[in-house]
Amino acid sequence: MDGSRRKEAHVLVFPFPGQGMVNCMLKLADLLSGAGLHVTFLNTHHNHRRLSHFSGAHSRLAQRPKFRFASIPDSLSEEETRSVFNFFDLEESMRTRAAAYFRDLLLAYRDKDPDGWPPVTCVIADGLMPFTIDVSEEVGIPAIMFRTISACCVWAFVCVPKLLESGEIPFPEGADLDEPVRGVPGMESLLRRRDLPSYCRQARNQMDRDLQVMSSVTASSNRARALVLNTFESLEGSALSHIRNHSPVTYAVGPLNALAGTSSDSGSLWEEDRDCMSWLHSQPDRSVVYVSFGSLTVVTREEYMEFWHGLVDSGQRFLWVVRSDLINKRGGGTEEKQAVPAELEEGRRERGCIVGWAPQEEVLAHPAVGCFLTHSGWNSTLESIAAGKPMLCWPFFADQQINSRFVSAVWGIGLDMKDLCGRSIVEKMVREVMEGERSEELRRNAWEMAEMAKKSVAEGGTSYNDFQRLIQHIMSFSSNVPAC
């Protein structure tokens, strides 16, 4: 004997505790399980409860013999909110307190698995949690990082130290946000200040906490055995080439929602209102504007009313996802309780449908949907691309600013409404995407991009091949495991 033995591959997948990250990484876990690997999907207790209650994917995957769910505390109390305003508090809690629970779980799964499963041979963790690299490697388990943002945003974050050194960020007070940004190679003629990730715009000095955290977690990806991105070569080939100069082992495996074997059921942490599907069935083809700002975006009461007026005044049919916490209630305000004017309610009754949460992939795939008014989160952007639907972008934070710029100025599959939401602007741009001079061009470009996405995930496509290479990489970790 050579003192080693072959073990079955067992991957532990650990997303950052947010809706978009959980949904995206659950799709990856689904695919890895479908390839025959043992998969443990690790959530926080808080999100595990919500996922098990609302997600169709949870019910389906829990039936698989080689798939299981596990959870650890996020170290926040149930009374503490997990909204966009507490994003970095949650990041700090995971890094400084939940890391110990993660280590204990890994040791338990390594030494004596409670279900009799083979030991964990690989961890795939969200890139927002680089502590998982250190903990995993410390206990002898290789770690791979997964970033749920776009490759173009990852590359922009890689360039943050250079932008700081050159003085391009932080911006001076009152800066012209249309000033070009020169310090992101490959994007010199494209990016303006307003297109950089929101943390760059919001930073007031070089030691800004949020900016430093995002720059640090991106740099930490180099310490992982590999980097996985939910994108595809024909969409973000230039950014991927730059990233691979820094992280040579980078797999582009997206769009994950389009890869063969995935189901349309979601990893939703919200209860989906399926009545909207019945409403869509009764609408003409390409007649509906689907409106959703994702799970974290918040708007003021004034912005909310501007969107209301713009949608109704456009004369278009609309399906609008209005979360219970969409309107910003910070400061104890009660404005959100005011009634919507009668003329707007009349417009909704005639042409609209409002729900608290929707089965988004099904909605986007429906022939009645003509465009997507979106916050430009990366999951939503890819889902719209896969469905071949043009977008109207109103980004809120993080990678959304740069995503919306690429949607409009590079890929030509939508319009960018960044930093604007006056009712007349909303009305004008909704009409432009749905029936304006460029509407046919946008639809054609969106359809062509959807075809490229399909080719990337089909057998022999770039994402298909990268996913196969990822599986082989994971399998290599279990080839020579020290004997107990």
Q: Which pLDDT score is estimated for 58?
A: 73
> What pLDDT is attached to residue 2?
38
Neighbours of 332 (CB within 10 A): 5
The dihedral built from the CA positions of residue 399, 400, 404 and 405, taken in this order, carries a sign that is negative
Q: Which portions of the chain are predicted below pLDDT 70? A: 1-6, 55-56, 75-85, 260-270, 330-339, 480-484
Do the domains at 4-148+253-260+458-482 and 275-454 have one common CATH topology? yes
pLDDT at 204: 86
Q: What pLDDT does residue 261 have?
A: 54
Tokens of 358: 């929707």
Q: Is 234 exposed, middle or buried (0-12, 13-18, 19+ CB in 10 A)?
A: middle
- DSSP letter string, 210-267: HHHHHHHHHHHGGGSS-EEES--HHHHHHHHHHHHHHSSSEEE---GGGSTT--S---
- pTM for the model: 0.93
d(CA 210, CA 186) in angstroms, rounded, equals 25
CA distance 268 to 51: 6
CATH architecture label of 4-148+253-260+458-482: 3-Layer(aba) Sandwich (3.40)
Q: Which CATH number fits domain 275-454: 3.30.300.30, 2.40.50.100, 3.40.50.2000, 3.40.50.720?
A: 3.40.50.2000
User: Looking at the DSSP assignment, which residues form a beta bridge with residue 122?
Assistant: 11
Q: What is the DSSP secondary-structure string of 426-474?
A: HHHHHHHHHHSTTHHHHHHHHHHHHHHHHHHHSTTSHHHHHHHHHHHHH
The reported pLDDT for the residue numbered 3 is: 37
Give the DSSP H or E segment for 354: strand 352-355
Q: Where do the domains of the chain lie?
A: 4-148+253-260+458-482, 275-454
